[in-house]
């Protein structure tokens, strides 16, 4: 094993140290692939590890698969897909998740940062379909129904925006959720991440040699400054005279 661990693994450890197993995000019957990708990216960016997706019923002609909008976020998540709502609800109950469904109804509790809710040990936050929201089945199964305060003409927000606001409020109410994964959970995730981060068989062998003795995490999980430059599409760069690397 080399004396100095690769920076890529140190960054992975920094991200892993901030992951949560307390919150699970459920995306139900999403009809737009780009919206689904954006939600995955938002969830991963907030430190969510588990995302469950419920397919449309009847199923869409083409099965969902991650696209470019997710920026590869699906590679770092524990992603599970259910064919039907009933299957997902049953799995949530078996694993003792408390179900918090998003709902535009007037009788739903308004999620206000000034009055933060008490957070249970395991919360499954359910986001519904773009057109009509969370299904009646999920609403009936929910332990709590929540809505975001809206002050304009718009009645609802884009799915990824709504996901970000709900998750931000949950973490504000329960900051101790960050970094609460067990050692066994971290070990399982670490093995998958280290393998995914490698770009060759030789590098994969090098990275996997660190699995049982992981390096200390970086203080900041963000990429190093040279990799933080905005990514500008070629056409946009040509139109606005922006230099691309």
Please give the average per-residue pLDDT across 144-167, as a whole number.
Answer: 90
What pLDDT is stored for residue 2 in this prediction? 53
The 3-class SS string of the chain reads CCCCCCHHHHHHHHHHCCCEEEEEEEEECCCCHHHHHHHHHHHHHHCEEEEEEECCCCCCCCCCCCCHHHCCHHHHCEEEEECCHHHHHHHHHHCCCEEEEECCCCCCEECECCECCCCCCCEEEEECECCCECCHHHHHHCCEEEECCCCCCCCCCCHHHHHHHHHHHHHHHCHHHCCCCCHHHHHHHHHHHHHHHCCCHHHHHHHHCCCCCCCCCCCCCCCCHHHCCCCCCHHHHHHHCCCCC
What pLDDT is stored for residue 69 in this prediction? 41
Q: Which of 27-36, 65-74, 116-125, 201-210 has the highest mean pLDDT?
A: 201-210
Please give the average per-residue pLDDT across 138-160, as a whole number.
Answer: 90
**Looking at 71-80, 140-149, 206-215, which range is the least confident one?**
71-80
Which band of pLDDT confidence, cut at 50, 70 and 90, is reported for residue 130? confident
Is pLDDT of 70 > 50? no
What pLDDT is stored for residue 68 in this prediction? 45
Which band of pLDDT confidence, cut at 50, 70 and 90, is reported for residue 110? confident
pTM of the model: 0.87
Q: Which has more confidence, 62 or 236? A: 236
Please give the average per-residue pLDDT across 134-160, as a whole number.
Answer: 91
What pLDDT is stored for residue 11 in this prediction? 96
Q: Which has more confidence, 244 or 180? A: 180
Which band of pLDDT confidence, cut at 50, 70 and 90, is reported for residue 244? low
- 20-177 adopts what CATH topology? Alpha/beta knot (3.40.1280)
Mean pLDDT of the residues in the chain = 88
Domain with CATH 3.40.1280.10 in the chain: 20-177
**Looking at 104-118, 148-162, 228-242, which range is the least confident one?**
228-242
What pLDDT is stored for residue 234 in this prediction? 74
């Amino acid at each position: 094993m080399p004396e100095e661990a690769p920076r890529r693994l140190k960054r992975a450890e920094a991200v892993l140290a901030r992951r949560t197993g307390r919150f699970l995000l459920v995306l139900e019957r999403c009809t737009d692939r780009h919206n689904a990708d954006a939600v995955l990216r938002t969830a991963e960016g907030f430190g969510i590890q588990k995302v469950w997706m419920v397919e449309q019923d009847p199923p869409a002609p083409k099965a969902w698969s991650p696209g470019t909008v997710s920026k590869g976020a699906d590679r770092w998540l524990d992603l599970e897909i259910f064919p039907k709502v009933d299957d997902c609800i049953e799995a949530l109950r078996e694993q003792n998740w408390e179900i918090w469904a998003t709902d535009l109804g007037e009788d739903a509790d308004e999620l206000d940062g000034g009055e933060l809710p008490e957070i249970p040990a395991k919360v499954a936050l359910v986001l519904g379909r773009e057109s009509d929201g969370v299904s009646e089945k999920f609403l009936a199964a929910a332990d709590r129904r929540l809505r975001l305060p809206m002050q304009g003409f718009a009645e609802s927000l884009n799915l990824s925006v709504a996901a970000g606001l709900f998750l931000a409020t949950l973490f504000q109410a329960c900051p101790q959720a960050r970094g609460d994964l067990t050692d066994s959970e971290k070990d399982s995730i670490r093995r998958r991440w280290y393998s995914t981060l490698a770009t060759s068989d030789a590098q994969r062998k090098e990275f996997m040699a660190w699995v049982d003795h992981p390096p200390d995490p970086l203080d900041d999980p963000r990429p190093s400054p040279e990799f933080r430059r905005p990514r500008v599409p070629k056409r946009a760069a040509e139109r606005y005279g922006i230099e691309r690397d």
